[in-house]
Structures are given as structure tokens and as C-alpha cells.
A = this chain, B = another copy of it.
Amino acid sequence: MKAGVRNRFNGTIKDIKKGTVMSQVTVQVGDNEITSVMTNESLEDAGFRVGDNVTALTKAINVVLVK
């Protein structure tokens, strides 16, 4: 897969927390964690499970820099 996205992090799903409509998935990426929120339906369609190797993508436009 090639994606038009600047920021990518490979990691492993370490936690999934399901709500009524939205779910939160936490990914271990080296020493850091990255958290993604998606609909429950997206979670189920993709079949994400704790332990899965995944890539976390975020477009450059969604990154805010502060100093």
C-alpha cells in the first residue's frame, strides 16, 4: 500500500476501549503510545485486535506544533 500521508508509525495494538459509537485504540510505537479514535463499525470491519501489527497514519495538516 502507498498512501498520500506524511506521518507513519508502525506499532502494535495494546488496548481497545469500546464506547457506544466510537472506539479508542492505543498503539505501542517503540517507547511511545499513539491513540486513534474511530467508529465501532470501522473497528469491527477492519477487525483490529490487541496484538495486531498496525501502521498509524496522520496527515501533516493535522499536526499542530507548539513551543
Q: Which residues of A contact B (CB under 8 A)?
A: 1-7, 9, 13, 17-25, 27, 30, 32, 34-39, 41-43, 45-48, 52-67
Q: Distance in Å from the Cβ of A51 to the closest Cβ of chain B?
A: 11
Verify A39–B36 contact, CB threshold 8 A.
Answer: no
Main secondary structure of the interface of A (DSSP, over half): strand
Verify A35–B39 contact, CB threshold 8 A.
Answer: yes
Verify B4–A46 contact, CB threshold 8 A.
Answer: yes
**Complex: chain B residue closest to A56, CB-CB:** B63
**Complex: chain B residue closest to A1, CB-CB:** B1
Verify B64–A57 contact, CB threshold 8 A.
Answer: yes
Verify A41–B65 contact, CB threshold 8 A.
Answer: no
